[in-house]
Chain A
């Protein structure tokens, strides 16, 4: 049983009060708008175009099938961050969750991303997952790499020249893993 209660109120380091709550069907238009307002370089490395309403619709559907848990951060009625925990319900990787997070540039370095990742770590533990994987593009998402390291994600491996930016320059992909321990050791 998921005991996490939403909405959750968090106060950012600048004193702004932000609400975290699950992604719902009626959020589709707001979420498309959120991604449309991001500069191209912020959404370039997504696997699908988040400005396409059909892509967002698919993400919302994934929530219904249990393949994704989405959390939104809302401030004054507007979406300012979106985080997801993606999981497989079948096969050899169903113990691994994948984390994806996008925070509006105006709300970075205010600990919002930390709250959202922390929230999804808790959800992952409730679901019995054993690891969380997060992939970041080196040179474009360095702040996120630093932030998740503080939440005990470790650099698991690096894929050289994995992605191209919008100008054609190659970037490495850093795979980060967090192990979700079920209990304390007897040390």
Chain B
């Protein structure tokens, strides 16, 4: 049975028909397979190249796994919005407050068609969107930079996430500070209290009482 918040669109691109579906269940994912592009390129490997990763994510509470796939069941793109793993810095903001867009990716042959924008829009179209802080971290060493510079990639991410209400925030998180092009963006839900916002700021700069 489809998730009660699932949304689905089907549209025609110049490469063919694409279906995008949010809140995909483990069963939905089992019935699909990855296109070859996710395993083909030696220089660049996708973060998620196994269906098991998507299935595991889809079984977590509140997590939104959004997939883009062809009518014959080939996954051409995906995104995951979920809670960070235990021990992550961002959990210190509060229990189930922060949710991370941990991955958003489209296979090379299907890029420049606007698929990632649609995946992101479906990811953040979440029943808890105003009661959570959604965030993303961009590490340049995970980016496919064969055809684009790191700063152009960064700017593309800023532009795409800004359209969904995300803003760039400063943080001293060591992995983000490791490279100037790395990026941290967040979207603070309208119902997030002042106290949580303050805590979020403290955690960004490692100044919260837990440290």
Contact = CB atoms under 8 A, between A and B. Distances in A.
A121 interface: yes
A6 to B, nearest CB: 10
Interface in A113-139: 115, 118, 121-122, 125-126
Contacts of B177: 118
Contacts, number: 49
Nearest to A1: B155
B202 A11 contact: yes
B145 A3 contact: no
Contact of B145 (A11, A12, A125, A184): A184
A-side interface size class: 20 to 34
Contacts of A121: 180
Given A10-B170, A15-B207, A115-B170, A122 B180 contact: yes
B158 A11 contact: no
Interface in A7-44: 8-13, 15, 17
Interface string B28-48: 000000000000000100000
Contacts of A48: none
Contacts of A10: 170, 205
B151 A126 contact: yes
Interface in A148-187: 182-184, 186
Contact of B207 (A3, A9, A11, A183): A11
B150 interface: yes
A64 interface: no
A186 B158 contact: no
Given A3-B158, A10-B170, A184-B145, A125 B205 contact: no
B93 to A, nearest CB: 14
A5 interface: yes
Nearest to B167: A5
Among A8, A118, A126, find the residue whose CB has the most chain B CB atoms closer than 10 A.
Answer: A126
Contacts of A184: 140-141, 145
Contacts of A122: 151, 180-181
A130 to B, nearest CB: 12
Contacts of B150: 125, 182-183
Contacts of B43: 186
Contacts of B141: 184
Contacts of B74: none
Contacts of A58: none
Contacts of B154: 3
B92 interface: no
Interface of A: 1, 3-5, 8-13, 15, 17, 111, 115, 118, 121-122, 125-126, 182-184, 186
Interface of B: 43, 140-141, 145, 149-151, 154-155, 158-159, 167-170, 172, 177, 180-181, 201-202, 204-205, 207
